[in-house]
Amino acid sequence: MTTIGPVQRARGPRGKALQVTEELQCVEVKTAPALELHGPLTLEGWVRLDDPKCRTLGNPALFGKGYEKGSYSLHARGVSMPNSGTLWFELDAADGKRHIYNPTDVVLSQNEWDHVAATYDGTTMRVYINGRQVGNGMQKTVDIATCAEPFRIGWLPCCAQFTGGMEDVRLYSRALSHGEIFARFKAGWAGRKH
């Protein structure tokens, strides 16, 4: 794991969180076979978007592996974009097609901790905020592309810079169930700090 910039800590729902700023641009996990997921997966973690910077430009990347000819990623829509504050889940296919699911009925909090998750079970893309599924999911069968980029937390190439807190970021090689995601959210809720 490599940090790009000095590490800063913040208080998060489950203990110590990583504070991502313009100085600490991201954390990189060197690519490895375990990160090359071509089918089911889950991206999950606690995030706190700090206004105003991360909501002013484009779509700040929360975490993922590559972008535009990448593999998989989770973003927040920026203030200058339609559906500001919503989650945008992307899967990039081996055939070059980009598949984006951006449900718009729930937005992330401002300057507060939210539990976020995105799952793909081989047929459906789903997004969750604070243990609740957002939208109805998007039916899609995708052979996820291989990508030489590292897994990054807090920034992806061609995306806006995220600023805020990140904690307990996880990648699974399967789609967690709604019950599992709710349990993960509930376990961190008691320690959530505003």
Quote the pLDDT of residue 164. Answer: 81
What is the rounded average pLDDT of the residues 40-59? 75
Q: Which carries the bigger pLDDT value, residue 20 or residue 153?
A: 153
pTM recorded for the entire structure: 0.85
What is the rounded average pLDDT of the residues 74-91? 81
Compute the 3-state secondary structure of the chain and give helix, strand, coil in percent, each to the nearest 5. Answer: 10, 45, 50
Contact 31, 150 (CB under 8 A): yes
Q: What are phi and psi of 111, to 5 degrees?
A: 60, 25
Cβ of 77: how many Cβ atoms within 10 Å? 22
Quote the pLDDT of residue 33. Answer: 86
CA dist 165 → 22, 149, 193, 194 (Å): 12, 23, 11, 11
Please tell me the distance from the alpha carbon of residue 173 to that of residue 78, in angstroms, as a whole number: 28
* Segments making up each domain of the chain, as ranges: 2-189
Span 2-189 CATH architecture: Sandwich (2.60)
* 103-130 residue pLDDT tens: 988 888 888 899 999 999 999 999 999 9
